[in-house]
Structure 1
Amino acid sequence: MSGLNRRRGIALLALAGFFLSTYLFLYALGYYGELACGAGGGCDLVQGSRWARFLGFPVAGWGVGWYVAVFAAAMLGTRDGLGAAAWIPRMLAILTLGGLAFSIYLTALELWVIHAICRWCVGSAVITVAIFLLALPEFRALRRSA
């Protein structure tokens, strides 16, 4: 897959993640009374836990911001002239590695602390892993430029 198509794929996944996290963020802000989660009620338990906030702000809101930043970096990386800029792979590498680490942390909390699984959170984690995998060549670009 070419670098241009890879970055477009990252942007598309980030857009999907943006919509997913916006849904959860609107719920956290009180615009939805109940999440569409199916049987088990894990979503409400996870979203109502003390771990649903990070630094006093809903985790889903952080997700919205992260997905916007990833989308912007990936789209800028597809522009003529900007696509070859050295800061694009660096930004994508930092963002995706940070997002993956935070997603692993949140998933661990769900499994071993909260003891509940939120389908929407799992969806976001899967999108984050896919974005990270698509961004792996950006890490190689960093090594080549060093």
Structure 2
Amino acid sequence: MSGLNRRRGIAVLALAGFFLSMYLFLYALGYYGELACGAGGGCDLVQGSPWARFLGFPVAGWGVGWYVAVFGVSMLGTRDGIGGATWIPRILVLLALGGVAFTIYLTALEIWVIHAICRWCVGSAAITIAIFLLTLPEFRAFRRSA
């Protein structure tokens, strides 16, 4: 897969993650009374836990911001003239690493502290991991430019 197509794939995944996070963020802000979670009900438990906020702000809101940043940088990376800039792979790598680290932290909380799994969170984790995997080739460019 070419770098251009990889970055487009990252952008599409970030857009999907944005909508998913925005749904959870709107719920956290009180715009939805109940999450569509299906059997099990882990979503309400996770979203209502003290760990649903990070630094006083809903975790889903942080996700919205992260997905917007990933989308923006990946789309800039597809533009003629700016796509070859050395800062693009650097930022993509840092965003991907940060996203995966935060996802691991949140998943660990769900499993070992909250004892509930939110399907929407699992979806966001899968999107984040897919973004990370598509970003792996950028690591070479990151190392070359460092």
User: So what's the TM-score if we normalise by structure 1?
Assistant: 0.99
Which position in structure 2 is the counterpart of 1:56? 56
CA deviations on 1:30-61 (whole Å, 9 max, x unpaired) are 00000000111100000000000000000000
- Please state if 1:88 is matched with 2:88: yes
Which position in structure 2 is the counterpart of 1:29? 29
- Partner AA of 2:64 in structure 1: V
Q: CA deviation at 1:71?
A: 0.1
Q: CA deviation at 1:142?
A: 1.2
- Please state if 1:122 is matched with 2:122: yes
SS at match of 1:97: helix
Q: CA deviation at 1:95?
A: 0.4
User: So what's the TM-score if we normalise by structure 2?
Assistant: 0.99
Unaligned runs of 5+ in 1: none
SS at match of 2:122: helix
Give the alignment's Cα RMSD to 1 decimal: 0.5
Q: CA deviation at 1:145?
A: 2.3
Which position in structure 2 is the counterpart of 1:77? 77
- Distance (whole Å) between structure 2 residues aligned to residue 82 and residue 7 of structure 1: 13
CA deviations on 1:17-38 (whole Å, 9 max, x unpaired) are 0000000000000000000001
Runs of 4+ in 1 over 6 A off after TM superposition: none
User: What number of residue pairs does the alignment pair up?
Assistant: 146
Unaligned runs of 5+ in 2: none
Which position in structure 2 is the counterpart of 1:9? 9
- Partner AA of 1:48 in structure 2: G
- Distance (whole Å) between structure 2 residues aligned to residue 50 and residue 121 of structure 1: 15
**Percent identical residues:** 86
